[in-house]
């Protein structure tokens, strides 16, 4: 796998090595050993999949400590714009985001560390989206930043009048009203030795 660092430390784009021939293609979508050598120590415990139609926007989600999650995401059918927003208090990149297009053709994966809000918009007719999480889903720890928060400066590549949003996501507060439970100076991965 090839790793591309982004403007926000810890957020990376992963390009798998794809082997193609007349039969089709093959690639290793995840290797614990290689991920830990090139990105960070991790222990994924849950895999999720969603299917959405054009205009669906999901996010910006996170789980509060001590149930916070990292996510390794990819689009296996269709095309999405995937976004990670830094919500760690004291971070030099607080409130900034990284956006990357994930498609069934580019096979890219996007690593969203703990301390980030995550969301995506569906740019194709339909999209199947998969993600690995390093902590179990915990409903009481659910949190979010409003996906329509214009102060974030995210171009979702979908006109807002065409956006399909859940009632839950519409009710999330904007970043300026958010009291982050994440601290840039506190290790969000205490289970691993530095």
Q: What is the pLDDT of residue 91?
A: 97
Residue 121 lies in a domain: yes
At 177, is the secondary structure helix, strand, or coil? helix
Establish if 162 belongs to a structural domain: yes
Give the rounded percent of residues in the chain with a pLDDT score beyond 90. Answer: 88
Q: What is the rounded distance in angstroms from the CA atom of residue 124 to the CA atom of residue 55?
A: 8
Residue owning tokens 């918009």: 121
Q: Residue 46: phi, psi to the nearest 5?
A: -150, 135
The answer to the question of residue 111 being in a domain is yes
- pLDDT tens, position by position, 35-67: 999 999 999 999 999 999 999 999 999 999 999
Average pLDDT, the chain: 95
For residue 194, is pLDDT > 70? no
153-183: pLDDT as tens digits: 999 999 988 899 999 999 999 999 999 999 9
**Contact of 149 with 170, CB cutoff 8 Å:** no
**Binning pLDDT at 50, 70 and 90, where does residue 27 land?**
confident
Q: What is the pLDDT of residues 89-119, one digit of tens each?
A: 999 999 999 999 999 999 999 999 999 999 9
Q: Is residue 189 part of a domain?
A: no
- Hey, is 17 helix, strand or coil? coil
Within-domain flag for 97: yes
Q: Does residue 82 belong to any structural domain of this protein?
A: yes
Instruction: Look at residue 131 and tell me whether its pLDDT is greater than 90.
Output: yes
- φ and ψ at residue 85, rounded to 5 degrees: -115, 130
pLDDT value at position 1?
Answer: 87
Where b means 16+ CB within 10 Å and e means fewer, 169-189 reads beebeebeebebbbebeeebb
Question: Could you list the active site residues?
Answer: 61, 131
* CATH number of domain containing 54: 2.60.120.10
- Rounded distance between C-alpha atoms, residue 157 and residue 57, angstroms: 11
Domain count, the chain: 1
Does residue 118 lie in a domain region? Answer: yes
Alpha carbon 93 to chain centroid, angstroms: 16
Sheet holding 46-53, edge to edge: 2-5, 12-15, 109-112, 71-77, 126-133, 46-53
Nearest CA to 191 out of 82, 73, 107, 68 is that of 68
Determine the structural domain holding residue 166 and report its residue range.
44-183
Q: pTM score, two decimals?
A: 0.94
Sign of the Cα torsion 184, 131, 76, 169 reads: negative
């Amino acid at each position: 796998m090839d790793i591309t660092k982004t403007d926000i430390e810890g957020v990376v784009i992963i390009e798998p090595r794809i082997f193609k021939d007349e039969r089709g293609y093959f690639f290793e979508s995840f290797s614990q050993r290689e991920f830990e050598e090139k990105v960070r120590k991790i222990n994924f415990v849950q895999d999720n999949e969603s299917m959405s139609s054009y205009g669906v926007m999901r996010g910006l989600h996170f789980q509060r400590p001590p149930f916070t999650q990292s996510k390794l995401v990819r689009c296996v059918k269709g095309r999405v714009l995937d976004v990670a927003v830094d919500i760690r208090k004291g971070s030099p990149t607080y409130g900034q985001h990284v956006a990357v297009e994930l498609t069934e053709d580019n096979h890219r994966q996007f690593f969203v560390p703990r301390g980030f809000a995550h969301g995506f918009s569906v740019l194709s007719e339909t999209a199947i989206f998969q993600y690995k999480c390093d902590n179990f889903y915990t409903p009481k720890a659910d949190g979010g930043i409003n996906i329509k928060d214009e102060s974030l400066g995210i171009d979702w590549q979908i006109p807002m009048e065409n956006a399909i949003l859940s009632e839950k996501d519409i009710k999330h507060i904007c970043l300026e009203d958010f009291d982050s439970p994440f601290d840039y100076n506190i290790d969000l991965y205490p289970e691993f030795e530095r």
